Amino acid sequence: MKQYKANPIFVRLKFLLILISLINSELSAQNLDSIEVPNLLIAENGDNILTSLEWEEERRPEILNMVKNLMYGTSPEAPGKLKFIKFDEDSTALKNTAIRKQIAIYLPGKTDYHLLDLLVYLPKNIKTPVPVFLGLNFEGNHSVNLDSAIRLSDKWVWIGAGGSKRNHPTNQSRGAVSSRWPIDLILKNGFGLATIYAGDLDPDYFDDFENGIHALYPKLQDRDDNFSTMSAWAWGLSRCMDYFETDSDIDQDKVAVVGFSRMGKAAIWAGANDKRFGMVISNESGGGGAALSKRKMGEDLTKLNKGNRHWFSKNYSKFNGKEENLPFDQHMVISLIAPRPVYIASAEGDPGSDPEGEFLSAKYASSVYNLYGKKALKSIDFPNIDQPVFEEGMGYHIRSGSHDITRYDWIQFLKFADRTWQ
């Protein structure tokens, strides 16, 4: 048999490519550990923050006001008294496995304003009150399950591939995103699920803040720290928390606010701004969510603010292409959640969300959790794919697959909640 000799040029080229790959991997690892971000534990006056009390009284209010002013914008005060109208309750829902509730929430006034419809599923035959996951959905409550009793939204929704068109929903859109809301799995594990349509609060496109709840607060728009869409969504999640405080079937101390993609950004801000949320879960929230802005990876500020200029305040756009000038970064937003547990999830096939940047936010925020005696992720290295890490106060995973929220993600969230709230 004829013997073939390896081409020496090819061998040297292959060796060179392997060497370059190793060098790039090493540089990437170094970059992952060495990125410079503002110090969480040094106050603006130079004080070192050494205790949780100093954090609560001095540093936390500074950071909260900073990100509110420069990123999310101001929000209205919580309304004095909301009106809750339960227009549906069925103890035989989902083939007799769940209790379904639908509550219309109204803002009081001369003419009550229909703020949103809240859909709640609770497990049957379980001791109440139960812990609940609360999240915004993209396409209307009716899209999370085929249950024909769910009231169709009267607002427009995104439809088509990638949300290319807007239209009013029909029965054909029922259960359109049910794979993202595995209600059977959640109920089986002893948790409830509550969800609201983000478009009830504010439509997800730039309309100069003339629609949704922004129309009720015009004075909050004529300023650089204006009331943004992201703040409107977060504010609406807090109004659901107002309802939970009146429902004896729900454990108000164990409400986890959860969000995927842009709704993950809103979930982080809701949890940072409202201490009543007992847990925060961010799934692939990327730039403006869990990922560090100063890395300029994936969704940088220019992409965020030019592509979706309604999401954040006018002040935030002043840092387009100038992330190095930001006096804060997203690890500081995550730190506002401490000492409440937080879980951040990424996906290998979603570079736009910058998985490494999402992980680093949690790792850098860990120093605040340490003040409360919680380990968090400070000493944890970036994990392997599909190998979640659970530490006291924090959890993280990067899974195989693309930009989505899957059953795998929910299994990890449920495990984390069960360990944390057992």
CB < 8 Å & 24+ apart, contacts of 45-50: 49/371, 50/371
Under 8 Å between Cβ of 147 and 271: no
Nearest to 343 by CA among 411, 295, 422: 411
Spatial distance between the Cα atoms of 25 and 20, rounded to a whole number of angstroms: 8
Under 8 Å between Cβ of 77 and 217: no
Spatial distance between the Cα atoms of 284 and 265, rounded to a whole number of angstroms: 9
- Would 17 be classed as within a structural domain? no
Nearest to 351 by CA among 290, 274, 284: 284
Output the DSSP codes for 20-54. Answer: HHHHHHHHHHHHHHH-----TTB-TTS-B--SHHH
- The reported pLDDT for the residue numbered 164 is 52
- The reported pLDDT for the residue numbered 166 is 62
- Would 149 be classed as within a structural domain? yes
Spatial distance between the Cα atoms of 103 and 115, rounded to a whole number of angstroms: 11
- The reported pLDDT for the residue numbered 202 is 94
- The reported pLDDT for the residue numbered 262 is 96
Structure tokens at 275: 């201490």
- The reported pLDDT for the residue numbered 9 is 53
- The reported pLDDT for the residue numbered 22 is 38
Under 8 Å between Cβ of 35 and 292: yes
- Would 76 be classed as within a structural domain? yes
Domain membership of residue 346 as a residue range: 55-421
Is 403 a residue of the active site? yes
- Would 43 be classed as within a structural domain? no
- The reported pLDDT for the residue numbered 25 is 38
Report the number of distinct structural domains present in the chain. Answer: 1
pLDDT tens sequence for the chain (422 residues): 444 344 555 445 444 443 443 334 343 333 555 678 999 999 999 999 999 999 999 999 999 999 999 999 999 999 988 999 999 999 999 999 999 999 999 998 867 899 999 999 999 989 889 999 999 999 999 999 999 999 998 887 866 544 555 677 788 889 999 999 999 999 999 999 999 999 999 989 888 998 899 999 999 999 999 999 999 999 999 999 999 999 999 999 999 999 999 999 999 999 999 999 999 999 999 999 999 999 999 999 999 999 999 999 999 999 999 999 999 999 999 999 999 999 999 999 999 999 999 999 999 999 999 999 999 999 999 999 999 999 999 999 999 999 999 999 999 999 999 999 97
- Would 45 be classed as within a structural domain? no
- Would 12 be classed as within a structural domain? no
- The reported pLDDT for the residue numbered 359 is 98
Catalytic one among 75, 261, 313, 361? 261
- Would 111 be classed as within a structural domain? yes
Q: Which single residue is written with the structure tokens 């109004």?
A: 239
pTM: 0.91
- The reported pLDDT for the residue numbered 33 is 54
Spatial distance between the Cα atoms of 350 and 353, rounded to a whole number of angstroms: 6
- The reported pLDDT for the residue numbered 128 is 84
Catalytic one among 178, 238, 317, 403? 403
Query: Domain holding 59: CATH number?
Result: 3.40.50.1820
